[in-house]
Amino acid sequence: MTTAHSYEPDSRLIGTVADGVYAPREDSALLVDVMYKTGLALGSKVADLCTGSGVIAVNAAAQGAARVSAFDICPKAVRCARTNAQLHEAQVDVHLGSWARAAEFGPYDLVVCNPPYVPNDPHCESLPSTVGPARAWDAGSDGRLILDPLCEAVPGLLADGGSLLLVQSEFADPRKTLESLSAAGLDADIVAWEWIPFGPVMHSRAQWLEDTGRLQPGRREEELLVIRADKP
């Protein structure tokens, strides 16, 4: 396993992505990079929620986490994450379940999460299966189907002095995330952001986002943000 001293953040630290599992994209890379730059994984007990392919969990182990537990509600994702952990000899325990399952193994020094956060137009055309499973990104009409209950659950997962790192899109109302985490007693702030071109998922929703006033006409890029929340 790569040591923290020689580690360079790289979301490609992944071996395989199975059919039905969403492949790592820019949002995973941004979260991995922030995790590395903050040093929050080093020596910590880490939970990776909505792990998918396991890329963030594997990187947490590579950054020197004391223990990493990963969780996903999709059996295919669990199998994929376990395979990738084995390929990289990363000490990651992968479990089937959501943050309710994660609570059984907590509390954690660090919780990381790249959840579904894309607003969903129920009338949009289905994307090709090669793009990935819709449940990996679709998050209701406002993009907050997962974010809202997650914000409520996180304080109970964190140890005193623990931190959350969460990545989401501008289109899922990051201000509401900050307000929800603050209302739950955490010190929350945006610590990183990055503009990226629309991929297939966002292109499929662009006209709907324009029609609902959430996207300026003709713009085809989005801002990704990483929110950090600390428990006193």
Q: Quote the domain boundaries for residue 62.
A: 26-230
Q: Is residue 10 part of a domain?
A: no
> Average pLDDT of 119-130?
66
- Predicted confidence at residue 4, as pLDDT, reads 38
Identify the burial level of 8 via C-beta atoms within 10 angstroms of its C-beta, where 0-12 means exposed, 13-18 middle and 19 or more buried.
exposed
Contact 152, 98 (CB under 8 A): no
Q: Is residue 180 part of a domain?
A: yes
Contact 112, 30 (CB under 8 A): no
CATH code of the domain covering residue 209: 3.40.50.150
Q: Is residue 2 part of a domain?
A: no
33-85 confidence digits (pLDDT tens) = 999 999 999 999 999 999 999 999 999 999 999 999 999 999 999 999 999 99
Contact 17, 80 (CB under 8 A): yes
Residue 1 has pLDDT above 70, yes or no: no
C-alpha 224/C-alpha 42 separation (Å) is 24
Q: Which residues contact 149 (CB under 8 A, 6 or more apart)?
A: none
Q: Is residue 17 part of a domain?
A: no
Q: Is residue 3 part of a domain?
A: no
Residue 131 has pLDDT above 60, yes or no: no
Q: Is residue 161 part of a domain?
A: yes
Structural domain count of the chain:
1
Q: Is residue 164 part of a domain?
A: yes
pLDDT-derived band at 112, boundaries 50, 70, 90: very high
Nearest to 148 by CA among 103, 115, 108, 190: 115
Residue 8 has pLDDT above 80, yes or no: no
